[in-house]
């Protein structure tokens, strides 16, 4: 989980615009925890799969 969280935050930072913002939110319920990571980058372009044929760690 630590590695997953690190990778998500790192990618959000890496793909943010200069002067952009990375927002991390946490919501806890009695049964679960929800973590949100959002940046101000352009995101994945429509029609282009995020990891098609890519090697990921």
Over residues 2-25, the pLDDT tens digits come to 999 999 999 999 989 889 999 999
The reported pLDDT for the residue numbered 57 is 60
Q: Which residues are paired to 23 by β-bridges?
A: 38
Give the pLDDT of residue 20.
92
Residue 9: which residues within 8 A CB-CB, separation 6 or more?
Answer: 22, 24, 37
Q: Side-chain half-sphere of 34: how many Cα atoms within 13 Å? A: 5
Whole-number pLDDT of residue 41: 83
Q: pTM of the predicted model, to two decimals?
A: 0.68
As a whole number, mean pLDDT of residues 29-49 equals 87
pLDDT digit string (tens) for 27-36? 999 999 999 9
């Amino acid at each position: 989980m630590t590695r997953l969280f690190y990778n998500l935050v790192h990618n959000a930072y890496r793909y943010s615009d200069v002067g952009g913002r990375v927002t991390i939110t946490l919501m806890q319920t009695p049964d679960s925890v929800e973590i949100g990571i959002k940046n101000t980058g352009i995101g994945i372009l429509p029609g282009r799969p995020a990891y098609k044929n890519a090697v990921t760690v």
